[in-house]
Amino acid sequence: MVGITIEEYRGNDFIVNQLKSIIMATNQDIKISTCLWFDNQAEEAAKYYTSILPESKMGKITRYGREGYDIHKKPAGSVMTVQFWLQGNEYLGLNGGPQFRFNEAISFVVQCETQEEIDKYWNKLTEGGDKSAQVCGWLKDKYGLSWQIVPRVLAEMQNSTDTEKTDRLMNALMKMKKLDIAALKQAFENKTVGSPTKKERAEIH
C-alpha cells in the first residue's frame, strides 16, 4: 500500500462512496465531524480514548469487503472505520494505511479545572508516547496524535491586559512540560504560592 497517493484514493469510487455513506449515516444533525486516519489501530485507539475521557462511548464499526483490495490492501473483514464520541464530540477513525501520519498541526485540547485532572490526563495520554514532544502542555500519545492538556484558568490569565503579568506567565509556561497551575499563577501574580496579596496584607494590619 506504500506509495498509494490520496488522489488514487479519491479516484476509487468504492472507498469514496463508503466513507460518504458512513459519515452521512452517523448523525444527520452534525454538520462537521472529525475523521482520524490510522494505519490499522482505529478500533484500539477509539477504545483507548473512550476509556480515558468522560462522556465518551464507542459507536458503529464497519469492515472492508473484497472490493477495492487492489487499492487499500486490507483483508476482507478487517476494520475500516470506527465511530466514537469523546466528551460528546463525534469522531470517525479510519484504518487507511501507513502513508499518512498525525503531526502537531492538529491537536486535541483538554480543558481542565484542577491540577488533579491535568495529572490524570497527562499521565494516561503520555503512556507509550514520544517524550520529546512533551512541551508547554503538549504531548503525543502512543498513536502519534497530539494533545494539549491545559488548565481552564490559563486562558483567563492570558487575556489579561497587564503585559508584565502575561510576560511572566509565558516565561514560566515555556519552561514546563506538564503544566502546573500553582506555578503559573505564582508567575502571573509575581508572588510565592500561599503568600498574602497587598490587599490581604493591608487588611491584616
pLDDT digit string, tens, across residues 98-119: 999 999 999 999 999 999 999 9
Residue 70: pLDDT above 60? Answer: yes
CA angle 178, 183, 189 (to 5 degrees): 140
CB 107 within 8 A of CB 149: no
Alpha-helical regions (H) of the chain: 6-10, 13-26, 42-52, 69-72, 115-125, 152-158, 163-173, 181-189, 198-204
Return the pLDDT at 7: 57
Average pLDDT over residues 188-205: 59
Higher confidence at residue 135 or residue 32?
Answer: 135
The model's pTM is 0.78
Supply 177's cell numbers. 512540560
Return the pLDDT at 192: 59
Domain boundaries, the chain: 6-95, 107-189
Residue 204: pLDDT above 50? Answer: no
- Domain 6-95 class in CATH: alpha beta
CATH classification for the domain delimited by 107-189, as one of 3.10.180.10, 3.30.420.10, 3.40.50.1950, 2.40.40.20 = 3.10.180.10
Neighbours of 76 (CB within 10 A): 10
Let me know if the fold of 6-95 is the same as that of 107-189. Answer: no
Average pLDDT over residues 160-164: 96
Average pLDDT over residues 47-58: 98
Own/partner pairs for 38-42, CB < 8 Å, 24+ apart? Answer: 38/93, 38/94, 38/95, 38/96, 38/143, 39/95, 39/96, 39/97, 39/98, 40/74, 40/78, 40/79, 40/95, 40/97, 41/95, 41/143, 42/79, 42/81, 42/82, 42/93, 42/94, 42/95
Going along 56-164, which residue ranges are E strands? 57-63, 79-86, 89-95, 107-112, 138-140, 146-151
Return the pLDDT at 27: 55
Residue 189: pLDDT above 50? Answer: yes
Residue-wise pLDDT for 35-46, tens only, equals: 999 999 999 999
The mean of the pLDDT values for the chain is 87
Distance CA 99, CA 48 (A): 22
Return the pLDDT at 156: 95
pLDDT band, very low/low/confident/very high, at 200 (cuts 50, 70, 90): very low
pLDDT band, very low/low/confident/very high, at 144 (cuts 50, 70, 90): very high
